[in-house]
Homo-oligomer: A and B are copies of this chain.
């Protein structure tokens, strides 16, 4: 097929009729499919069902009764598993509740209300700016927006954010207080931060003494095609004595059950001390029954990693399907391009400029709900309106196939409409 840009108006109109017909056929099917959020599918949940039987025994290996109050930092045997996964000392890991997002929010709340290691509380400052690699995770942006932080978009370049830009902004403006990012299988592009990027993040001069890296390592072990790793940011920071700059987050929401697992924050000795002090005012402790279930179910990091291979086996056909349908529809034209991540939960589709929102709207009209197109950018504003996120994990394979056909039809229709409109 030739490209739309080479077609005459009549050819385009005839294409539009063809595409519209296909689209309308899908629309008439009355579909109801949701590809908006990164949710595991039912088969993925099933592999952890044994957890629901709970810990038949409620004592830790140290014979501690988890049914009562105490152990604010989390059970040592549970922390030990994360220590193995992340190659960090247990003492630098706190288990906090069921949600990494909640821990990120709470960490924002703490620096806003109380400052970081003695710095001025961010809520007392006239302006706080946070660097946001884009395309990025909408819930990160929502937290920044909620706290009134000004978000500065920094483009991702294939191996992490544009570090020249990050370094310049961090060095020159003391209102720039941090960066929030997903360093492995970045949501939604699947980006993998390079060693060089990670080195520069901990090495760079920052005008703010309390600059913080909100390191949302959400997909640290969520491989699909290939088991990539990133550098241990804490190890790198040791070289420059900037360990206090880092807050790392992770949860088991996509290891066991979303919202019913455990979440961790990892940080330097100084930060852990401060977090524990403030956390001891916030709560008597998090749910240790859940922590013990996790520890008894997995026992060690090796078993967690093997468990993740089962997830990968379920997810691979879904990501294959996305590629297959997009290939079949767009291989020989330039209506869109898409990324092929090695892991994580998303596929990012780049469209012709000004088409993404319309594609998402058309898909919704046809019963396929996608994440809002602007959601990949701060304030929901992607100036080029040229990308959207696919979350292919939740639907069954057959549903996903249909959804991808619908989306392909939407891409075609929106693109030809745009071509006609701008003729």
Q: Are A258 and B102 in contact (CB under 8 A)?
A: no
CB of A388 within 8 Å of the partner chain: no
Nearest CB of chain B from residue A12's CB, rounded to whole Å: 42
Instruction: Say whether A155 faces chain B, with CB atoms less than 8 Å apart.
Output: no
Q: Indicate whether A13 reaches chain B with its CB closer than 8 angstroms.
A: no
Q: CB distance A52 to B52 under 8 Å?
A: no
Contacts of A113 in B (CB 8 A): 109, 112-113, 123, 147
- In the assembled complex, which residues on chain B have CB atoms less than 8 Å from the CB atom of A56? 52-53
A260 at interface by CB-CB < 8 Å: yes
Residue of B nearest to A124 (CB): B123
A257 near B45: Cβ-Cβ < 8 Å = no
Q: With A257-B67, A258-B67 given, is the CB distance from A287 to B98 under 8 Å?
A: yes
CB contacts (< 8 Å) of A49 on chain B: these are 58
Q: What per-residue 1/0 map shows which CB atoms of A100-119 lie under 8 Å from chain B?
A: 01100110010011100000
A289 within 8 A of B: yes
With the chains together, A286 CA to B147 CA distance in Å? 21
Residues of B within 8 A of A257 (CB): 67-68, 289
**Cβ contact within 8 Å between B101 and A283:** yes
Interface status of A321 (Cβ within 8 A of chain B): no
What's the tally of chain A residues with a CB closer than 8 Å to chain B? 55
CA distance A69 to B259 in the complex (A): 6
Cβ contact of A54, chosen from B53, B124, B258, cutoff 8 A: B53
- CB of A289 within 8 A of CB of B52, answer yes
- Chain A contacts with B in 61-118, Cβ cutoff 8 A: 65-70, 97-99, 101-102, 105-106, 109, 112-114
| C-alpha spacing A102/B112, complex, angstroms | 18
Question: Which B residues touch A328, using CB under 8 A?
Answer: none
Q: Is B260 within 8 A of A105, CB to CB?
A: no
Query: Which of A34-42, A177-185, A349-357 is the interface stretch?
Result: A34-42
Contact B52 A68 (CB under 8 A): no
Known: A52-B55, A259-B287. A282 touches B69 (CB 8 A): no
Asked if A395 is an interface residue, CB under 8 A from chain B, the answer is no
From A38, which residue of chain B is reached at the shortest CB distance? Answer: B69
CB A127 to nearest CB in B, in angstroms, measures 15
Evaluate contact between B260 and A290: CB separation under 8 angstroms: yes
**Chain B contacts for A284, CB-based, 8 A:** 99, 101, 139, 258-259
Q: Is there an interface contact between B286 and A259, defined as CB atoms closer than 8 Å?
A: yes
A142 at interface by CB-CB < 8 Å: yes
- Residues in chain B near residue A282, CB distance under 8 A: 101-102, 105-106
Compute how far the CA of A113 lies from the CA of B149 in the bound complex, rounded to whole angstroms. 12
Q: Which residues of A contact B (CB under 8 A)?
A: 37, 39-40, 42, 45, 48-49, 51-56, 58, 65-70, 97-99, 101-102, 105-106, 109, 112-114, 121, 123-124, 139, 142-143, 146-147, 253, 257-260, 278, 281-290
List 28 A-B residue pairs with CB atoms under 8 Å apart, sorted by A's residue number. Answer: A37-B69, A39-B69, A40-B68, A67-B258, A69-B253, A69-B259, A70-B259, A97-B97, A97-B98, A99-B285, A101-B284, A102-B283, A105-B283, A106-B282, A109-B109, A112-B123, A121-B123, A123-B123, A143-B281, A146-B281, A258-B284, A259-B284, A259-B286, A259-B288, A260-B287, A260-B289, A287-B287, A289-B290
Q: Beyond the given A37-B69, A139-B284, A290-B290, please list 14 additional residue pairs across the A-B interface where CB-CB is below 8 A.
A: A39-B68, A40-B68, A45-B67, A45-B68, A66-B260, A69-B258, A69-B259, A98-B287, A109-B109, A123-B124, A142-B281, A259-B286, A259-B288, A260-B288
